[in-house]
Amino acid sequence: MRLWTRWSAPLICATLALATVQAQSSPSHDSGFRTRTPDASQKHFAGLLREPLPGHARAQASPSFYNPESLYQYIDGGADIYLLYGFKNLLHQDFKSGVAELTVDIYEMDRTEDAFGIYAAERSPDYKFVSIGAEGYRDKGVLNFLQDHYYVKLSGSGANADALLEQFARLLSVRIGGTRTLPALLEKLPREHQVPHSEQYVRKDPLGHAFLAPAYIVAYAQGKQESKLIVSVANNEQEAKSRSEQLAKHFKQSGECTSAPELGEGGIRARNDYEGRLIARTRRRYVIALLNPPENGAEILKTVAQSLP
């Protein structure tokens, strides 16, 4: 089920697709674009790829480092989405083990939720998931995972490459350490009827609305009923109220919106021809909304509101 597709911004999706192809295909870059003489912090970062390595893998060149100013030189056309999610550093290195060739890209992001956000933006609920780090997925020649504030992307080709990718991933997970959990807020959301691996953390234009950013979005399905739960995270209660008012204004201008105090603080019921039906309310610094809500949508809003800090 590709429930997430309808609400993804086409431009961001295209950007992500380009970034994934460019970053994981290990293109050849002019060495002048890379930082090859590491400083103290980079040496610590590079230590994640110190020997010994699985399959007696050997580095094919010194590690390359990219920062927010130089990331465009590695994933030209795809760097913006990483910068949006608080990108700090990238460690890139190529390895060879027998006839297998591997590329390791370790993205250091500013915060755990940012690492999750970029990881989730590039994964689909339909992928084959693996228990590495907080969450990971793989396909032939590719294994990506999330852990703490790192997003690790591995690619390989040649005999035994897939087995080596998993061995590399598990070793890197141990060396990275830190937390191996998804953002804490996601743990507070209802599990029943939740579409597995559909969670997202969106920093720009959640559901096409800049005023809702940042927000967590999770898909739910009850039979043929498909819904989206949105939790918009404001800085304070006043900002949450302002976001809710902007949401109501949008639906009044594009369709219809009525006050619904039975839903809780700031409750509204709304609809338009493009987005469909919506119910929403506020809770402290959060705006909680359900797109295409099921019959028990009001109960879901109440449950979520009570669980939020």
Q: How far apart are CA 290 and CA 303, in angstroms?
A: 12
First to last CA, the chain: 31
In the prediction, which pLDDT does 65 show? 97
Residue 248 is encoded by which pair of tokens? 């109501």
In 3D space, the residue among 273, 210, 283 whose CA is nearest the CA of residue 247 turns out to be 210
Tell me the pLDDT of the chain averaged across its residues.
Answer: 90
Q: 5-176 and 184-307 share one CATH topology?
A: yes
Contacts of 28 (CB under 8 A, 6+ apart): none
State the pLDDT at residue 40.
Answer: 77
- The domains of the chain are located at 5-176, 184-307
Q: Tell me the pLDDT tens digit for each residue of 182-219.
A: 999 999 999 999 999 999 999 999 999 999 999 999 99
CATH 1.10.3720.10 for domain 184-307, yes or no, is no
User: Taking each helix axis from N to C terminus, what angle separates 10-24 and 112-122, rounded to the nearest 10 degrees?
Assistant: 90
Residues of the chain with pLDDT under 70: 1-38
The pTM score is: 0.86
What CATH code would you report for 5-176?
3.40.1000
